[in-house]
Chain A
Amino acid sequence: MDLLRYMDEGWRSVLIPVGSQAVLSLRGSRLIIDPHRGQTAIMERQSGMDVPGSDYGAFERDVLGTDSIERVVLGYDLGLQGTSFAQRYLARDIAQAANDWTIEEWLPRDERLHAMMLVATSIPEAAAAEIRRVGVNDRIVAIALGCNGLGRPFGEPAYHPIYEAAANLGLPIVIQVGSEISGDQPLPAVAGGNPSTYAEFRVHAGHANWNHVASLITEGVFTRFPKLKVLLVGGGAAAIPSQLWALDYWYKMTGPAFPWIERLPSEYFVDHVKVSTLSLEKPQQPERLAQALGVFEDIERVLLYTSGYPDEEWETAEQIAERLPAEWHESVFRTNADEFFRWPEQFASSHGAAATHGAAGGH
């Protein structure tokens, strides 16, 4: 409902009569919903409670309240699915409204707040235009790809205008669990067909991200945009060695099909891709996690802490730290994020006058 204020007359006249639920839920038709969680959410709404993550007071307490938090990047929760409408002009305008809402209502509240901007990918040229419109705000530090608008792996040429706009502004790309949904393509939520249970979705939801990684590398996105970076969110990390070994193995075998690739896929991966700690595995013997991850030599450069707040499995930095070796902490909790996001000072030094300051009356 909050977003309607940022949408034009036409959409308001269409959406308001439909009732708030239609817009509030912002859910694509293929989202797998945990039946138990769904019920809780409905009860909360009926009792007048806020949508998780929408209450700034709670957010301030849960996330900003810790002294060790220096910077926070806001993403989107179900808003991501708001871009999965098959009505692609609506998807485009929802993304625009979400960006305006974030910039006007969230960023001014605390200097530590930064945000990803959201793009609807079903009209890549429109997404690129939105990046050029919003990406000049210096508190926008990354681009969250919404749902898979064309139902194609994200490395495919049709999406390249998005990466070109991102690269020109030095903004990295974020692909999250949730982007496996497509508005008008019959894509399954996980590999092998749609799951019957939410447990299966939780286990396998990150898989689509690996399809996207293989696509981004083999379609030459990183050769064409050598500074472009990508963050994968929500699929855990223990599969990283396995997936990269498979990529390298098959590349060595089928390499001639990709003359534009100059290095091993795992080398592109280390230079361009980060993996979020959201949904990081929790083996019963916690030290085994470091053993599995550690076989990939550059793992420290790859992992990047994200809390996932207010997802039910969100974790504080302290909780994640308990499962990772102390010598990785500096990279995972600080330097990888420093290098990955386009922070205001980096934007100022590269774009100078072009930057507009995020919050009205901000710094």
Chain B
Amino acid sequence: MSTYSGPIVDVDVHNTVASPAVLKEYLPARWQDYVSVTPPVPNTTIGLGFFTPAPPVRRRDGGPTASTYQHIKEDVLEAGNVFKAILTHGIGQYPELSNHDFMLDVCRAANDWMIDKWLTLDDRLATVLVVPTQMPEEAVAEIHRLGDHPQMVGIVFSSNPLRRPLGDPIYHPIYKAAVEHGLAITTHVGVEHASVIPGGAPSSNMTAIVNFPGAAGHHISSFITHGVFEKFPDAKFVLKEYGITLLPSLMWRLDAEYQRMKRESPWVKRYPSEYMHQHVRLSTQPIATGPRRRDLTDYLSVIDGIEDMLLFSTDYPHSSMDDYEYAARQLPAAWHRKVFCDNACASYGWTPPPVEAERRLEHSAA
């Protein structure tokens, strides 16, 4: 059994509003009454109304779980040797709201709330911007407004109101702005509205969830076939909560289409798997594996260097969260340092803390 005691970057931690009213403080006067009748947390998650298992972490103090800094501090930051944690709202589907004007102000409010009530409290916290994706020009403006905040490390799509695969040209101005500010382009489970699931809308939480990796794969191939990584060579695409086992078959199938892509999308210059190695990162949770200890490693290691593409995440406090001990048991010890810390540091521009051995050397030298 492998364990890990080095520094941890947790790239997917959900902090949530205790109630929609929390955002009122950050909304213009004209929406104050509107919020009371239109909750700014939209009812668009396709899982809503389905059976949802109870989360493993349930706090009974200070409001709903993950709604206060104290919760995150005790349950995440101090549960292990956490170097950084990236807050991903809970999950931030505000861009889905159908009243555009209201939606825009709610996105801004959520970002202001995040900075004001969370980022200022702890340097270990970082976050991703909620951008109004159904109004691409406004999304660009929001990125310019807050993108230089030192704890802002990405933009996030947790909903997809335009229902286009994410490499679509309509989104390129957003990506241009994100790259200018050094922000990772992030997508989180939730982007898959029921109407974009082939074969028909799933009828349960479970059947919905098993469709998500397929959609994630298509967003990646959409990035490649629309040339996003050629247009923006510094773009990083981080996909959260899709699991990691979607990679082998996706990379093989994409590479097999390389010749066809060169005809249909002549700006594709390299094998798709090369773009993926360089630009695409996946958060690890949920780690689903087979019955035998080696199944997961055997399956993943058909792709050389796959360990460079993985970023550890807990998904605190949701029902399928992985703690770092579980993740360490599932992944080979040789991958730990990269997956738990170094890959994320490279993606988000942080200097990783020194490894224990180096620390000891420093001590003995002193």
Contacts and interface: CB of A to CB of B under 8 A. Distances in A.
A247 B210 contact: yes
Contact of B198 (A180, A292, A295): A180
B226 A196 contact: yes
B70 interface: no
Mostly, the B contact residues are: loop
B319 interface: yes
B269 to A, nearest CB: 14
B56 to A, nearest CB: 10
B286 A193 contact: no
A197 B265 contact: yes
Contacts of B302: 283, 288-289, 291-292
Interface in A263-294: 281-284, 288-289, 291-292, 294
Contacts of B213: 242-243, 246
A197 B249 CA distance: 19
Contact of B221 (A200, A210, A247): A200
B214 A191 contact: yes
A281 B261 contact: no
B79 interface: no
A198 B260 contact: yes
Contacts of A88: none
B18 to A, nearest CB: 26
B198 A208 contact: yes
A282 B211 contact: no
A258 B260 CA distance: 43
Contact of B248 (A35, A238, A253, A296): A238
Interface in B236-264: 243, 245-246, 248-250, 252-257, 260-261, 263-264
B222 interface: yes
Interface residues of B, number: 70
B21 interface: no
B256 A193 contact: no
B198 A203 contact: no
B149 interface: no
A219 B166 CA distance: 31
Interface residues of A, number: 71
B218 interface: yes
Interface stretch (A42-50, A52-60, A148-156): A148-156
Contacts of A151: 200
Contacts of B243: 242, 246
Interface in B100-140: none
Nearest to B261: A199
A18 interface: no
A197 B225 contact: yes
A284 B200 CA distance: 34
Nearest to B245: A242
Contacts of A292: 248-249, 298-299, 302
Interface in B178-210: 191-192, 195-207, 209-210
A188 interface: yes
A282 B205 CA distance: 33
Given A203-B217, A203-B221, A257-B51, A192 B196 contact: yes
B198 A199 contact: no
A283 B199 contact: no
A185 interface: yes
A204 B214 contact: yes
A239 interface: yes
Interface string B42-80: 000000001111000000000000000000000000000
A214 interface: yes
Interface string A172-211: 0000000010100111111111111111101110011111
A28 interface: no
A282 B252 contact: yes
A295 B207 contact: no
Interface stretch (B85-93, B287-295, B331-339): B287-295
Contact of A203 (B166, B202, B210, B253): B253
Nearest to A249: B288
A295 B298 contact: yes
B290 A245 contact: yes
B105 to A, nearest CB: 27
A204 B164 CA distance: 15
B360 interface: no
Contacts of B153: none
A294 B295 CA distance: 9
A218 interface: yes
B215 A187 contact: no
A294 B264 CA distance: 34
Nearest to B246: A242
A341 to B, nearest CB: 24
B221 A239 contact: no
Nearest to A240: B249
B219 interface: yes
A241 B302 CA distance: 13
Given A192-B196, A200-B225, A236 B249 contact: yes
A282 B292 CA distance: 26
B29 to A, nearest CB: 37
B231 interface: no
Contact of B209 (A185, A246, A284): A246
B250 A215 contact: no
Interface in B158-186: 160, 163-166, 168
Contacts of B219: 192
A241 B200 contact: no
8 contacts: A153-B200, A188-B198, A198-B264, A200-B221, A207-B198, A207-B217, A211-B211, A257-B50
Interface of A: 34-36, 148, 150-154, 156, 180, 182, 185-200, 202-204, 207-212, 214-215, 218-219, 236, 238-239, 241-243, 245-251, 253-254, 256-258, 281-284, 288-289, 291-292, 294-297
Interface of B: 50-53, 160, 163-166, 168, 191-192, 195-207, 209-211, 213-219, 221-222, 225-226, 243, 245-246, 248-250, 252-257, 260-261, 263-265, 286, 288-292, 294-295, 298-299, 301-302, 319-320
Given A186-B195, A193-B168, A250-B209, 16 more contacts: A187-B199, A187-B200, A192-B192, A193-B164, A195-B165, A195-B222, A196-B165, A197-B264, A211-B211, A246-B210, A246-B245, A254-B204, A257-B206, A258-B206, A282-B256, A292-B249
